[in-house]
Structure 1
Amino acid sequence: MFSNVYWLAIILVGIAGFVHVLAALWRERGWLPPDLARGQLIYSERLFHGDRELPVVARVDRAYLVDGVIHLVELKTRPRVRVYETDVVELSVQRVAVQISTGKAVSLIGTVVVQHTRSRKRFVRRVQLLDTAAVARLLRRRLLVLQGQAQPAATPYQGRCRTCEYRMECKGVASARVYPIVTRFH
């Protein structure tokens, strides 16, 4: 029926496919810290919502389950290997949303993976996240600023205002008038 060459070809194709899958898994996990690499990827590009008390919405890049605790990973592509305060806030809001949505413990240590735009190398940076109370204070302050009841703080970073999604509501200086276009959380 089938010659030995046929069976050998099937075996070789199977081995090549297996090696390809293993290589892809290694590339995926090769840049992760060892503790996360041994964890299980449980969420990728998933949207989470808070609740009435903390009405946040956050899209999680990656979340790994390690020893019963969820660990968040934020992926960035940048020309400089740098972690910004906004990365910490973003991961902290994600933490709150995931914790509320799932009821599971989420680590206060987040991971930011910065892929350099030219070299394409990945650099892993661990960050201390804000606790739930600090995120709640930020949400309240944001609402007050958007309602015009508090003044926005000027950023020390020149380019930050140019790329800010709230540039139309806030002129980017401490004495700016805030136009209350957004008056509640979305």
Structure 2
Amino acid sequence: MVHVSVVSPKGGVGKTMLALQLAASYARDGLRTCLVDHDPQGSVLVFGKIAQRAGIELPFVPTNARVSGFDVYIHDHPPGLEEAYPSRIAVVPTLLDPPSFLIHRRGLRHLEERGLVVVPVACRYRSDRKQQRDLVAAHFLDRPVVKDRDVYPTCYGRGLTVVDARGIPHLSKAQNEIALLRAAVDAAIALTNKPHE
């Protein structure tokens, strides 16, 4: 059983979007996957209702209840940092403006001090902005970067993830971004499962 928490000290940085994509990615690989919505805003549950109204059967279970019997649990947390999380892995998205990134760096330290393996992710990256290019070059060369693409909100509004969507412009680029994110999370899982020497 695997637990992955998606967390950030700041709101509006893409936590729910990443949690949805990760849940769909694991479910697509045949793992029984639960996406647990800890956020009072309930964006995961809203997404589930959008999918239901569109007649889409999600490959993962969105819930805000305590459930068991799954292979993978993705936890979508509200903004802010907690003293303890239900996982040893934290996916931590950030926007690429100086104030957000400063808060992000402080959040990474907080999580690492509590023994979590962190996967930092640059979200809504715009390569036409020098400040963002500089931050990516300095901090995200070997880490996941998710560009500012219309395909992510388009899919959300249709009750889809980029993992499962078809026929939307720039979809393959977004799918590649999520594949790199998944690889980084899998590496973190392998690290936490490594026996202590």
TM over 0.5, yes or no? no
Please tell me whether Structure 1 or Structure 2 has the larger radius of gyration of its CA atoms.
Answer: 1
Higher relative contact order (CA 8 A, sep 6+): 2
TM-score by length of 2: 0.24
